[in-house]
Chain A
Amino acid sequence: MAQRMQVAPGTARGRGMPRLGLVLLFTAPALVLYTIYVLYPVGVSMWYSLLDWNGLAAGKFVGLSNWRRLFQDQSVLSSLRNTLIILAASFAVEMPVGLLLAVLVQRLRRLGTILSSIYILPLLMSSVAVGITWSFLYNPQYGPLYYIYNNFGQQAPGLLGSPTLAIWAVTAVVLWQFIPLYMLLFNAGLVAIPQELYEAASIDGAGAWTRFRSITLPLLRRTFITASVLVLTGSLVYFDLIFVMTGGGPGNASYTLAMYIYRSAFQDQEVGYGSTIAVLLFVISFIVSGLIVRFSRLLQGD
């Protein structure tokens, strides 16, 4: 700090310490922690993905054989398919219902505020809490489903134990948990639309639907982009909920990449292969993010 006086204050560059030194001084602590927990793991995973390694003994370099295995792995395919199911359901249900609830909450004013406080409840629960509650709800032996079916003398379906239905049962819970988040997002977007626009349109004789279509929807474009980004990035990383509800099963029916990484590395002791899936997840995430940055610039026109 003693050097500060050497340079006249207000000059374009240095105000005391060399500028680069200052920048590094301020960023270094964050940079160190960030490098350890974000950058280094990505880099070293790429190396691990070339090893046959149980995590205990020394790893053996096997070149691209993990990668060859990855591209023929049914569980990877199944994970990707499940991710796509969650993704499609999120687009088709979370966004429209979120928007509907946001409009509803806004139109009901005072009552809407109370409603939205209740609607938001699922967001306050951790995914683990949500997952466990729903696995009881789905339980065919003692859950509410059992009682409903029992009234009709039928046996309740074991949704989470079914290879075809498990992923849909889990997806329904994903929707239940995250629709309120989209309600909040669209609500923030709706609040930002100037009321005068609606008033002017009403005076011109526009009905509710016309106003919604020609004012609300276009002005929510940015919010739609935001919500799409959230759907895209969020869908890649489902873990907690599925982990507690099905553990990925039955078989690999409800796997996601995140779960498969965990299982390979921490349950099957295949650290090399787990890292290969991790790198795949990273690459997909990176491509998706890159596309998002590109498209959101295009769509926003700047």
Chain B
Amino acid sequence: MASISIATGTKRGLSRRAGTRFLLAIVAVFWLAVVLIPVAYAVIQTFKTQADALASSPWSLSSPTLANYQSVLGPQILRYLLNSVVTSVGAVVLSTLLASLAAYALARLPHRANGFLYLLFVSGLAVPIYASIIPIYRLSIAWNLYDTLPGVLLPFAGTALPISVFILTAFMRGIPDELEQAMQIDGAGVFRRYLQLALPLSRPALATVAVFAFIANWNNFVLPLVLTQSDDTRTLPLAIWNYQGQYGMNVPLVLTVVVLSTLPLLIFYILQRRNFIQGLTAGALSAV
């Protein structure tokens, strides 16, 4: 970036650059405020009592308390957290595994039927989850999966398949033929080539697909909303909504749940910044 200034070393160039910098700084600070004011509001309220929150300005914090965290943090919220982890992670493992198998065949085992199968999977990208929610609900009742964790996990996995197959197939097509032929000459069967060649070489794509599906599942609201009803099967997004329904006027308590429920993804983001952003944008980047 520094090299750009080479040709603009004149006085006019400098003042213009300073002007641009000043403008950028204003935008930077403005957007910082846009993002942080609602977040700060939420966080500040969590340290107030309900009476304090109603009586004082949203920005003052005269007598901070941890009471909200103490009353929210308990076996109940751990249960919701566990439900979210089990359904989201379980679904990611399942969909990524199945998609990698399918992608291997579609990308590396040429057959006339592949074109059709690929199109079949990819056309699923055009099916919004809301268009299929009624039949999924009915299936769930018919198969005794209603209000169970597998009943949430399975549709999580099923609906993640189109995009997973799409990304993984594209990636596996790029594996050099020579590598596979070499293994084949050494007598490696097709399953060994999948396990020992295609899977390890596809690690970046597998990570992208897994992160994307995980975030989508973790934040998914409509499937647990429609497919569960009891407290024991509630996932975090549903729990937030439920807290609001139950303690709607207790702003600090509800916002404490909001803040706590956001922590897992925040930690994930801090630890795995690169993978996280890749996964987050994967859905968009693969859509073309």
Interface residues of A (CB under 8 A from B): 1, 4, 9-10, 15-17, 19-20, 22-27, 29-31, 33-34, 36-42, 44-45, 48, 55, 100-101, 104, 106-109, 111, 115, 117-129, 132-134, 136-137, 142-144, 147, 176, 180-181, 184-185, 188, 195, 198-199, 202-203, 205, 207-208, 211, 222, 225-227, 229-230, 233, 236-237, 239-240, 243-244, 257-258, 261-262, 265-266, 271, 274-275, 278-279, 281-282, 285-286, 288-290, 292, 296, 300
Contact A108 B190 (CB under 8 A): no
Known: A45-B134, A202-B7. A104 touches B27 (CB 8 A): yes
Give the contact stretch, choosing among B64-72, B74-82, B101-109, B203-211.
B101-109
B271 at the A interface (CB under 8 A): no
Contact A230 B35 (CB under 8 A): no
Known: A4-B189, A48-B135, A285-B126. A176 touches B287 (CB 8 A): no
Across the interface, which residues of A come within 8 angstroms of B94, CB to CB? 33
Across the interface, which residues of B come within 8 angstroms of A38, CB to CB? 124, 127, 132, 158-159, 161-162
Interface residues of B (CB under 8 A from A): 1, 3-8, 16-17, 20, 24, 27-28, 31-32, 34-36, 38-39, 41-42, 45, 53-54, 57-59, 94-95, 98-99, 101-102, 104-106, 109-111, 113-114, 117, 120-121, 124-139, 154-155, 157-159, 161-162, 165, 181, 184-185, 187, 189-190, 194, 218-219, 221-222, 226, 236-238, 240-241, 244, 251, 254-255, 258, 261-262, 265-266, 269, 273, 277, 280-281, 283-285, 287-288
In whole Å, how far is B32's beta carbon from the nearest beta carbon of chain A?
6
Contact B20 A208 (CB under 8 A): yes
Contact A126 B236 (CB under 8 A): yes
Across the interface, which residues of B come within 8 angstroms of A119, CB to CB? 31-32, 35
Contact A282 B131 (CB under 8 A): yes
Across the interface, which residues of B come within 8 angstroms of A48, CB to CB? 134-135
A238 to B240, CA, bound (A): 18
Contact B184 A10 (CB under 8 A): yes
Across the interface, which residues of A come within 8 angstroms of B106, CB to CB? 23, 27
Contact B265 A104 (CB under 8 A): no
Contact A133 B128 (CB under 8 A): no
Contact B109 A132 (CB under 8 A): no
Across the interface, which residues of B come within 8 angstroms of A236, CB to CB? 128
Contact A285 B185 (CB under 8 A): no
Q: List 5 A-B contacts (CB under 8 A).
A: A30-B121, A34-B124, A126-B262, A239-B221, A285-B131
Contact B237 A27 (CB under 8 A): no
Contact of A133 among B36, B99, B194, B255 (CB under 8 A): B255
Most-contacted residue by chain B among A45, A124, A181 (CB, 10 A):
A124
Across the interface, which residues of A come within 8 angstroms of B237, CB to CB? 126-129, 240
Across the interface, which residues of B come within 8 angstroms of A132, CB to CB? 240-241, 244, 254-255, 258
Question: Closest residue to A105 on the B side, CB-wise?
Answer: B28
Contact A126 B240 (CB under 8 A): yes
Contact of B265 among A37, A39, A124, A185 (CB under 8 A): A124
A80 to B265, CA, bound (A): 33
